[in-house]
Structure 1
Amino acid sequence: MTGVRSAGVDRRDDDTRWPALFGVRHHGPGSARAVRAALDAARPRVVLIEGPPEADALIPLAADPDMRPPVALLAHAVDEPGRSAFWPMAGFSPEWVALRWALEHGVPARFIDLPATHTLAWQGEEDVGEEPAAVTPDTASPHTVGLRADPLGTLAGIAGYDDAERWWEDVVEHRTAGPGNPFAPFTALEEAMEALREAADGDGGVGGGGEDPRDRVREAYMRLQVRAARKEFGDDGVAVVCGAWHVPALRRRAPVAADRALLKGLPKVRAELTWVPWTHRRLARAGGYGAGIDAPGWYAHLFDAPDRPVERWLTKVAGLLREEDRIVSPAHVIEAVRLAETLAALRGRPLPGLSETADAVRAVLCDGSDVPAALVHDRLVVGDVLGEVPAGAPAVPLQRDLDRLQRQLRLRPEAAERELELDLRKETDAARGRLLHRLRLLGVGWGEPVVSRSGTGTFRETWRLRWEPELSVRVAEAGVWGTTVRAAANTKAEEDAVAARGLAEVTALAEHCLLAGLSRALPAVMRVLADRAALDTDVGHLAQALPALVRSLRYGDVRGTDTRALTEVAAGLAERIFVGLPPACAALDGEAAEEMRQHVDAVHGAVGLLEETEVDGNPDEGPEGAGGGADGGARVPRGGEGGAAADGSAVGGGDAARDVVGRAVRDAAGLRARWRAVLRLLAGRDRVPGLIRGRAVRLSLDDGDLDPVEAARLMGLALSPGTPPGDAAAWIEGFVGGAGGGLLLVHDERLLALVDGWLTGVPAEAFTDVLPLLRRTFSAYEEGVRRTLGELVRRGPGERAGAIGAGPGAFGFADGLDGERADAVLPVVRLLLGRDDERGPGGNAGPAEVATT
């Protein structure tokens, strides 16, 4: 062997063996430091690294100042982008350190693992009949078991450790090679892996029948690449950085013909590679990465800390806890450091590791509580660091357009989950909302809509955002639909409309098109919707479709989108529902009746929204002028000119939008009257199940279409002795079930007395049959409502009859509005609505305020 060539230093021939094989643990900071020291000592002419050779052209980007790990090499099949594989690298990964060392010293670097074209083809063979999913090379084979699956765990067990991470910290992370021999760690690890592989093979030889067949193919390819590099750069000029498991196989001298025979006939697919951002969280085992680690944030700290890592770590933990308003002082940090060092001494460890620091954090900084300790683990031990990739990295056109929109809208991807509040009346926020909706339509789930905590106006949207590395794969998949986000979303929506299996899917798609501002796709979707609606005779399907259409009418107004086609379809659906609903509600069993009740509620809400459009859609009413009502209802732009949004989406003109709203108002008035007639018909038809009859009465009562006395009469009929107890219980569930049912009984003693009287008269033999229905009804009430009802029943509802209207505290319906009590709440209402300037003469409420109140 030739001695190691170091700058001005003579070393013994046995310091290392050439080619220099540096077996590492993927994402091990100790291995990364050792690799850097060994490369500085060996000064090779070429550095070979485990990874796909198609990525050699991407290596120079690692020196770009805009490249910040963690990042990953992403390979995907050109014809099937969802078939993909990742090679992640963090700042503390040995492979990344080797890349950077080669670039800094002007030494060629090459990847020598099996080409991605074969890796992806193998993945396709495994996923036959399944949806393709992204994998890493370490998880590509289902045959990886035993010692191959966890060689470090095996070594830890031999050393008497029950935790492989703790063993690795003690043996590698807390120990450094002496100044005279930087190769010692790799020599020891190579010997250990050789012994493990011999045990795994069972026949004393590397490459026997106990190995994973795909590992044998990968190692054969790597051996061929090492041979080629030795011929080009000389025997003493090649350094290899690869997983420690592969070192014995690469050291073994196998016949070239045998290696080439293993590679003959491998399946292939056309592959493309690029760099993509990665996250610390995806490096963790919990994220599903096969070569993952438990604590990427902790390992990054160990790699970056120049000295005193425990003190620096606990100071970082204290800073996080103080940001969360926990009382943590410097004295706490000093005591935590002392405790961690003491625990390490008691456990026989060279330095405090993650377990000692975690115990010290929980005991001293978190007062023994697991809640803040879990926060520390999530934010720091794992972490949400998201890498960055330079703009010059190869990418599909759709990804480039997405990057442009993210910069334009100042919507930066982040690994940490966060909520984004959007005000759709603002141009930038509206464009952000359209982008997120378009991405959802394309299957790129960067954001998920959530219920807003700041209000319920239709001009508000709240999103929960989190960027995951796998979304890069989804973007590549969506690239088949177009080269820009807008064009791809339009094409995808048109295709989805044709392929939709039901009417509800098409209506939901139409709603998405409006939310996403897809003006090109909407006409095609509406044609499919009109055709499906005309042919569908199932009332349930029609009832599921109507709410989405009505929501789309309101959303269209606030976004300035032309919704004229929706108006006619919605009106036609409503008419067909009104005609078909009463016959469809006859002779239903309990399960079908519950499903139909949900349809009745949905249609009722949709008709109500249409009626609200009459007020909210008027551009001349409301305190916000052109912006519309303060509650965020549908709004119509002033003026007769159309406009364009920041991302190029068309915005309808004010006069056209007002015409649409005017027609919707006229249609809504007639639809509302017909719907009231349908509810009255359902309430009085004996063949309709009690659940639906009770619900129809309740909806009519809530809307003021039914007199309270008449409601009490209908309840009395439904609860009469001639009605079977099961039907009566179902009627009660329909009438007082759901939101507000408990308060209705609290404030109307007549209805409560009827329910109480019926319940006490139920025969004992029938009581057990109706009890589950009653429990389901009344258990849904809030605890305070149930307590009040119990107190009223204990006193007896009839005893309050004389108290009705007797004074402030009395229950029941008064003959008229108590003006004095109503005026008392007006200052608070004005404050909430911000309408102090709209008072009438003498400081009294103005007409608009009275109407709103």
Structure 2
Amino acid sequence: MTAQEGRGRTSGGGPLLLGVRHHGPGSARAVRAALDAARPRVVLIEGPPEADALVPLAAEEGMRPPVALLAHAVDEPGRSAFWPLAEFSPEWIAIRWALHHGVPARFIDLPATHTLAWEKEETGAAGEGSPDGRAEGGADGSDEDEETAEGSPEPVSPEPASPEAMSSESVSSEASIRVDPLAALAEAAGYDDPERWWEDVVEHRGTGGDVFAPFTALEEAMSALREAYGSGGHDRDLVREAYMRLQLRAAQKEFGDGEVAVVCGAWHVPALRERRTVAADRALLKGLPKVKADMTWVPWTHRRLARASGYGAGIDSPGWYGHLFGAPDRPVERWLTKVAGLLREEDRIVSSAHVIEAVRLAETLAAMRGRPLPGLTETTDAVRAVMCEGSDVPLSLVHDRLVVGDVLGEVPEAAPAVPLQRDLARQQRRLRLKPEALERELELDLRKENDTERSRLLHRLRLLGVEWGEPAVTRGSTGTFREAWRLRWEPELSVRIAEAGVWGTTVLAAATAKAEADALAAPSLADITGLAERCLLAELPDALPVVMRVLADRAALDADVGHLAQALPALVRTLRYGDVRATDTRALAGVAAGLAERVFVGLPPACAALDAEAAQELRGHVDAVHGAVGLLGDAVTAERGDIRHGLPGDIRGRWHSVLRVLSARDTVPGVIRGRSVRLLLDEGELAQDEAARLMGLVLSPGTAPADAAAWIEGFVGGGSGGGMLLVHDERLLGLVDAWLTGVPGDAFTDVLPLLRRTFSAYEPGVRRTLGELVRRGPGARVGAAVSGAGIPGFAADLDDARADAVLPVLRLLLGLDGDQEHVDENDIDDKNLVGVAG
């Protein structure tokens, strides 16, 4: 049958119009059967015409769907849009059919040059749309409530949660009257679930018989909907359809009226069949804005085809649809076998008997529900009941791994790409870092050259805004020579790479230029110090001098102690990288020492006369500076107080002096005074007797209850481990207990929220132990009466018998067992060994 003969089977006369639902396996099979039957001389496909030159790449061996056409504005790469295609997309089938049969395949939708400019005019001029001005693109011409039976391969924006490329839902007044054709047809057929209706009438229908019948039926249904609803709230479709009609006329003139096949969303078929004058169509296109656009193929993922991802590509279950399209026979049996294999990999007991029973249950449910074959709903119910024992926990794994899936497409190297993308691809191959859609953990040992280069690449990409890897907490090691990353490649990262291409042609050059620009534009001192840390992690030696110069200038002019305290920790952390990454940190050390000195001088005056909120904020700064001083002190040669990297040897002593000043001044808020006392106690700069004396003074009747409660919060609150301190120090707990029981009733209500915040941070076991100690009362604790140490559970002297029991283990841990050339085991004092180990 020729296209001329087949066109009569689709509403009589004209070109062969194949209305489809995008990403529908049933539509894909029907398109292939119709093209095989009609044998047209040209295939027209809904999509941007700029992609015509990219069509031959679909036949390359390295091209594996899912993939997407990516269009971006040349002068503004961040403004972009995607047209995703899966192996079960009718458009992809049409492209592959045309290439296999040597037939031209052309895209006939509105050019991307207008799409991107039109969106920019809407979101840019109106100041609405996406927050960064990017396209509000939605695949299938839909957002989440607009999943269409026909689909509409309108561009998908790189931003998640984006509706329609040419129509921002946030600014469209027509959003409330948009029509979902799939839902309308399902409702007319008596279905409450559009997906279930589509499966019953299309996906479960064979390709035998009249291959044009499904297209005829869909065209009639859409014609009735268009007659009732007009454009259905999709007014911009009128402009797109005018352009498609012009392209269709040109193809008919070139190849003949009966030799043209069109694959497009079924929603557009009545409009393409409609008789309109050329002048009327051109009038709709007159005056459309333009931008210079570039286009290429990029990998896509099944997860990004799912509506839940925010891209609105029209299907909830791409993995399931891919299975339906690829299964030659017995799709339910094959699917449940696949589910069983996944659950077995997760160490769940699933046998072949489970699969057989699940198949029977799915078929029974389909019969009870009046469905021709089991669909996703029936198979899911069967898996839950038979394989998951009614639990939704393993079922969620099945949904994530199989129903949605983590398939990542591939594009050939011949596909156009910006120079930065090519440099990144070279480094990915050299470092054996393959982009993957499935999130995975990567642990790096920075003592190894290859791992160090991987770390540099990932940090440089983060500087460029390409969030391929996210730092994670390393397991089993706190050393700076280890790094852990969580890697997941997302399709929109291709846009970020194109956008970052304005900074340079290689990852190193682009990251360097971006860091220099960010330093000059940084809004705060803390941002600059954080940038300096990232420059060291990414090893950008050319950018670091610029960042340090800006940092020194800003630090000299900034008199806000809070800003200086925020900036110091990040700057000090970078000093550790010199040993691991062989980076010269002398310039950073000098700036860090200067910042620390300015914080020491300015902190006591800055802590005076603060309200509760400001005091809590400054307490956080005190903690941050304390941690930073500890790292600075580690960079100092302690034995002789030498100066290393320009750091004074007594920097910890200077900080301890500041803490003593803060702990003794009445004008300093209680939360800061209490925190200062606690830090001095933990550092061994304050005896327990002195700490107890200071607490007793604060908790005396002469101190306002609110101030005393704030002091307690600073001393034992938050994540400071104060609960364990109270458990093991009878005197401190007794002081708190005596003060708390003596607070007047009218003041107790005021201090209760602060006390709840203090003690609620303790772990449940600590709170329980404190409650038991308080219930027993001071002096009545078990073991305390006979303990000279005053700490429950500890004797006054060393228990020799218990110490001897741990000596063999200590010798093994310290490497003192066996033949030792330089250690005579008989010369070791066992008690000293226990003391050293403790």
Q: How high is the TM-score relative to the length of structure 1?
A: 0.89
Matches within 5 A, 1:203-242: 212-242=234-264
CA contact (8 A) 1:177 1:185 kept: no
What's the offset of the Cα at 1:767? 1.2
In 1: Cα distance, 2:227 partner to 2:814 partner: 78
Please say if 1:762 is aligned against 2:792: no
What's the offset of the Cα at 1:479? 0.7
Name 1:785's counterpart in structure 2: 766
Name 2:134's counterpart in structure 1: 133
CA contact (8 A) 2:423 2:505 kept: yes
Identify if the C-alpha distance between structure 1 residues 802 and 255 changes in structure 2 by more than 3 Å, giving closer, same or farther: closer
What's the offset of the Cα at 1:468? 1.0
In 1: Cα distance, 2:255 partner to 2:817 partner: 83
1:608 to 630, 638, 653: 630
Identify if the C-alpha distance between structure 1 residues 766 and 401 changes in structure 2 by more than 3 Å, giving closer, same or farther: same
What's the offset of the Cα at 1:18? 3.8
What's the offset of the Cα at 1:667? 2.5
AA paired with 2:133?
P
In 1: Cα distance, 2:176 partner to 2:76 partner: 33
2:375 to 353, 369, 373: 353
Greater shift in the superposed pair: 336-345 or 417-426:
417-426
What's the offset of the Cα at 1:801? 9.6
What's the offset of the Cα at 1:772? 1.2
Identify if the C-alpha distance between structure 1 residues 794 and 11 changes in structure 2 by more than 3 Å, giving closer, same or farther: closer
AA paired with 1:842?
E
Greater shift in the superposed pair: 418-427 or 570-579:
418-427
In 2: Cα distance, 1:367 partner to 1:717 partner: 63
What's the offset of the Cα at 1:543? 0.6
Greater shift in the superposed pair: 301-310 or 817-826:
817-826
1:54 to 50, 54, 58: 50
What's the offset of the Cα at 1:778? 0.8
Matches within 5 A, 1:138-177: 138=141, 139-140=164-165, 141-142=167-168, 143=172, 145=175, 149-177=179-207
Identify if the C-alpha distance between structure 1 residues 723 and 52 changes in structure 2 by more than 3 Å, giving closer, same or farther: same
The number of residue pairs the alignment matches comes to 798
2:780 to 799, 806, 810: 799
What's the offset of the Cα at 1:439? 1.0
CA contact (8 A) 1:748 1:812 kept: no
Give the SS at the match of 1:420.
Answer: strand
Name 2:318's counterpart in structure 1: 296
CA contact (8 A) 2:219 2:269 kept: yes
Name 2:666's counterpart in structure 1: 686
Please say if 1:197 is aligned against 2:226: yes
Greater shift in the superposed pair: 73-82 or 824-833:
824-833
In 2: Cα distance, 1:292 partner to 1:767 partner: 59
Give the SS at the match of 2:78.
Answer: coil
1:442 to 464, 467, 475: 464
Please say if 1:185 is aligned against 2:200: no
AA paired with 2:610?
L
In 2: Cα distance, 1:745 partner to 1:424 partner: 41
Q: Deviations over 1:294-320 (max 9, x none)?
A: 110000000000000000000011111
Greater shift in the superposed pair: 53-62 or 805-814:
805-814
Please say if 1:709 is aligned against 2:689: yes
Name 1:22's counterpart in structure 2: 18
CA contact (8 A) 1:805 1:813 kept: no
What's the offset of the Cα at 1:663? 3.8
Greater shift in the superposed pair: 446-455 or 692-701:
446-455
Q: How high is the TM-score relative to the length of structure 2?
A: 0.91
Give the SS at the match of 2:295.
Answer: strand
CA contact (8 A) 1:611 1:665 kept: no
Matches within 5 A, 1:83-122: 83-122=79-118
Please say if 1:670 is aligned against 2:653: no
Please say if 1:82 is aligned against 2:78: yes
In 2: Cα distance, 1:845 partner to 1:514 partner: 47
How much identity, in percent, do the aligned residues show? Answer: 75
In 1: Cα distance, 2:551 partner to 2:6 partner: 80
What's the offset of the Cα at 1:146? 7.0
AA paired with 1:229?
A
Give the SS at the match of 2:297.
Answer: strand
Identify if the C-alpha distance between structure 1 residues 394 and 665 changes in structure 2 by more than 3 Å, giving closer, same or farther: closer
Give the SS at the match of 1:198.
Answer: helix
Matches within 5 A, 1:400-799: 400-614=422-636, 663-664=643-644, 667=647, 669-738=649-718, 739-799=720-780
Name 2:41's counterpart in structure 1: 45
Identify if the C-alpha distance between structure 1 residues 833 and 35 changes in structure 2 by more than 3 Å, giving closer, same or farther: farther
CA contact (8 A) 2:7 2:16 kept: no
CA contact (8 A) 1:533 1:542 kept: yes
Unmatched segments (≥5 aa) in structure 2 = 142-163
Greater shift in the superposed pair: 77-86 or 419-428:
419-428
Give the SS at the match of 2:61.
Answer: coil
In 2: Cα distance, 1:502 partner to 1:565 partner: 20
AA paired with 1:124?
K
Give the SS at the match of 2:373.
Answer: coil
Name 1:641's counterpart in structure 2: none
Identify if the C-alpha distance between structure 1 residues 473 and 11 changes in structure 2 by more than 3 Å, giving closer, same or farther: closer
Greater shift in the superposed pair: 191-200 or 789-798:
789-798
Q: Deviations over 1:510-535 (max 9, x none)?
A: 01111111111001000000111111
CA contact (8 A) 2:301 2:408 kept: yes
Name 1:310's counterpart in structure 2: 332
Identify if the C-alpha distance between structure 1 residues 197 and 819 changes in structure 2 by more than 3 Å, giving closer, same or farther: farther
CA contact (8 A) 2:7 2:17 kept: no
In 2: Cα distance, 1:706 partner to 1:292 partner: 66
CA contact (8 A) 2:306 2:312 kept: no
What's the offset of the Cα at 1:753? 1.1
CA contact (8 A) 2:636 2:647 kept: no
In 1: Cα distance, 2:829 partner to 2:300 partner: 58
Please say if 1:841 is aligned against 2:824: yes
CA contact (8 A) 2:323 2:331 kept: yes
In 2: Cα distance, 1:833 partner to 1:66 partner: 56
What's the offset of the Cα at 1:262? 1.3
What's the offset of the Cα at 1:102? 0.6
Name 1:642's counterpart in structure 2: none
Identify if the C-alpha distance between structure 1 residues 683 and 148 changes in structure 2 by more than 3 Å, giving closer, same or farther: closer
Name 1:4's counterpart in structure 2: 2
CA contact (8 A) 1:749 1:812 kept: no
What's the offset of the Cα at 1:713? 0.8
Give the SS at the match of 1:799.
Answer: coil
Give the SS at the match of 2:779.
Answer: helix
What's the offset of the Cα at 1:799? 2.9
Please say if 1:334 is aligned against 2:356: yes
CA contact (8 A) 1:747 1:813 kept: no
Give the SS at the match of 2:17.
Answer: strand
1:279 to 288, 301, 305: 301
AA paired with 2:784?
A
